[in-house]
Structure 1
Amino acid sequence: MKISAAVTHQQGEDFQIEQVELAEPQANEVLIRIVAIGVCHTDAVARDTGLTPYPVVLGHEGAGIVEKVGAGVKHVEPGDHVVISYASCGHCENCLTGHPSACVDFNLLNFGGEMEDGSHRLHQHDKELSTFFGQSSFATYAIAHERNVVKVDKDVDLALLGPLGCGIQTGSGTVLNKLRPAFGTSIAVYGCGAVGLSAIMAAKIAGCKEIIAIDVHDNRLELAKELGATLALNGKKVDVVQEIKEATGGGTHYAVETTGVPPVVRQSLHALRPLGISAIVGVTPEMNFDVHNDIMAEGKTMVGVIEGDAVPQLFIPQLVEYYKKGLFPFDRLVKFYQFQEINQAFEDSKTGITIKPVLKISETAT
């Protein structure tokens, strides 16, 4: 079928909305009419760094309505509202023990450009287009394996829900699934974008007594306080480590580092109390550590977390329930753009004008 998709032909170029061909869903695959897609920093990384083969249709926070299912699909049917999340193999040790985000084939399935069977569903002028995160949802329609697809309630605005598939799942899941802070403990969240603010909302749900937000934009820090932060620090104006240690009586029990900025990563470690844990979710370049002083000497832990260590089919419906109860107001992070405004949405995300852009697909986009 002919669809419209935002195609990236070469590294670093702007998105071009063009007509492409989408094949029929194969066994265990689902055809989804996309309603809206979240814009995530990982899409920008893939566009600009060669993370995946070109040409490619990016997009990995899709939300839409099931149009057709392939043979063997058991858990969704046409008409279901779904969120599309990351790809996993479903049969490796990590998948089978409830950690599909650590799937041994995660990088191949999400960044390799092919579907699980090694074929392609997207073509343009008889040339194969790479698939991203097993979905390529910067398009009017997408095909994904049933394992990528999460059925959600129809009584919640579907256009809001795409970001639950990656960025918001990452921030909230890092707190609720990986760190699991004990009631009354303290946590610092470095970076108040969509991932960091989701971590702050999750820390409030978990019952953290002290929730410290760190950013360099005062408007984001104000929103962080509205969403649950008990203290907000501007990293350009104060000594973050000193302020945290004074406020907490020696440092936080936990930290979530979302920025990927090496000096901030170090702050997340230095501002921990002994035995504290810092969860790293930002894309961080190569950097050096003093292992003895930064980590070992005080029994600290630094751990990497992918996709919030979430099983999407379990965790995303839980987030929707928290949202419906007013406990997880992630809609406050979102600003909607039309699909045709995709390049502006990415620019606004980069400059910080918008925390979480979401692209809406109009009925006329096809």
Structure 2
Amino acid sequence: MIECRCAVLRDVDAPYTVETVTLAAPGPGEVLVRIVGAGMCHTDQIARAGVLGPTFLPAILGHEGSGVVAEIGPGVTTLAPGDHVVLSFDSCGSCAECHAGTPVHCGAFERHNLAGGTGVATDAAGAPLTSRWFGQSSFGEYAIASERNAVKVDADVPLELLGPLGCGIQTGAGVVLNTLRLAPGRSIAVFGTGAVGMAAVLAAKLSGASEIIAVDIRRSRREFAVEMGATRAVDGTADDVSAQVGKVDVSFDTTGNPVAMSTAIDVLRRPGRCVLVGAGFEPLTVFPPTLAGKTITYVYEGDAVPHVFIPQLIRLWKQGVFPFDRLITEYPLDRINSAESDVSRGTVVKPVLVMR
């Protein structure tokens, strides 16, 4: 067991509290990771929506951790203490999809990532905390992860930058590179330019897209998207967003907003493909004839195999063609509530909690 400081969310309307918690020793197939950095993702906000059940809170959230393996549990063979790792989504490792090498389609994806789970962490009073959020719960100085969702990375890369590669950056870049396989000369419209959308812009530029249109309600985000590679930007609050965007080969919605999703479908030329990833709670209503020649799909985690894709993104960053580090603003763990407020207000793109 180990005592460490973690950020705990105890109520949907309350701020995080940084507390001393006790983590169990890693079990079979598990590793204890000393967290160096942990990205804050929009999906963490789901815990505040009250849709995960009355027993989910109190919880340690965080699912974009990066750090150093401190201890390994029985049966772990691919990792050793001292290894640098990025923590990504978890999977069962035993279903047909996992055996086929597509863990993102794991039949138990929701149970392993969104259910949380207990048995790993207790608070100062000995009460259990939800502590396996996305198989990691990395808003703290240490986290228990599985060998499956811990991706070994080169030790010469700044670990505090790498956490967002485990989810948000992986999702945005993966949609462009893995799902859409955007070819040079094609056009794309990206709706919502938070971390996921901005990663898509970076990947689209890398892919040689002829036109990259960023749609966002915030001027600062639109301007930053152009700086990062978008060929132009459109105000998402305008009355004629569809007309301003024009027709594109593919579209990508990160917002989960029904109006934005409908517009993302409308701007497709035929044939065209729209990818949705936003964790919204409102239904999308589509008039069937508008889908003629068009395809819509919802994607988890950029259709990525993290052990392959995360090292690929790091190589691209080293080559200077995927500067995701420019999206990051660092905060100490004690300022987690400021980080949450800033990303909610749109003043930062990707906050990362650093454990110094």
| TM score, norm. by length of structure 1 | 0.93
Residue number among 315, 319, 323 corresponding to 2:313 in the alignment: 319
Letter in 2 for 1:267: T
Letter in 1 for 2:122: H
Residue number among 59, 82, 101 corresponding to 2:85 in the alignment: 82
- 1:64-213 equivalence runs, <5 A: 64-114=67-117, 120-124=119-123, 125-131=125-131, 132-213=133-214
1:301 aligns with 2:300: no
| Identity rate, percent | 47
Compared with structure 1, are the counterparts of its residues 304 and 91 closer, same or farther at alpha carbon in structure 2 (3 Å cutoff)? same
Match of 1:253 in 2: 249
Looking at structure 2, the residues matched to 136 and 47 of structure 1 have their Cα atoms a distance apart, in angstroms, of 15
| 1:286-330 Cα distance to aligned partner (Å, 9 max, x none) | 3342332331xx211110010101111100000001111111101
3-state SS of paired residue (1:284): coil
3-state SS of paired residue (1:37): strand
Looking at structure 1, the residues matched to 338 and 226 of structure 2 have their Cα atoms a distance apart, in angstroms, of 28
Looking at structure 1, the residues matched to 162 and 325 of structure 2 have their Cα atoms a distance apart, in angstroms, of 9
- How far off its partner does 1:188 sit? 0.6
1:289 aligns with 2:276: no
Letter in 2 for 1:24: A
Looking at structure 1, the residues matched to 179 and 263 of structure 2 have their Cα atoms a distance apart, in angstroms, of 20
Looking at structure 1, the residues matched to 172 and 210 of structure 2 have their Cα atoms a distance apart, in angstroms, of 18
CA RMSD of aligned residues (A): 1.4
- How far off its partner does 1:244 sit? 2.2
Letter in 2 for 1:228: G
Instruction: Tell whether the 8 Å contact from 1:12 to 1:48 is kept in structure 2 after alignment.
Output: no
3-state SS of paired residue (2:138): coil
Looking at structure 2, the residues matched to 87 and 78 of structure 1 have their Cα atoms a distance apart, in angstroms, of 20
3-state SS of paired residue (2:130): strand
Give aligned pairs, total: 351
| 1:173-211 Cα distance to aligned partner (Å, 9 max, x none) | 011111112221111100111000000111112221111
| TM score, norm. by length of structure 2 | 0.95
Q: Gapped runs of 5+ residues in structure 1?
A: 246-250
Looking at structure 2, the residues matched to 76 and 141 of structure 1 have their Cα atoms a distance apart, in angstroms, of 16
Compared with structure 1, are the counterparts of its residues 97 and 244 closer, same or farther at alpha carbon in structure 2 (3 Å cutoff)? same
Looking at structure 1, the residues matched to 227 and 245 of structure 2 have their Cα atoms a distance apart, in angstroms, of 19
Instruction: Tell whether the 8 Å contact from 1:339 to 1:361 is kept in structure 2 after alignment.
Output: yes
Looking at structure 2, the residues matched to 72 and 27 of structure 1 have their Cα atoms a distance apart, in angstroms, of 6
Instruction: Tell whether the 8 Å contact from 2:4 to 2:141 is kept in structure 1 after alignment.
Output: yes
With 90-99 and 21-30 compared, the bigger mean Cα shift is at: 90-99
Match of 1:248 in 2: none
Instruction: Tell whether the 8 Å contact from 1:203 to 1:211 is kept in structure 2 after alignment.
Output: yes
Q: Gapped runs of 5+ residues in structure 2?
A: none
Letter in 1 for 2:72: V
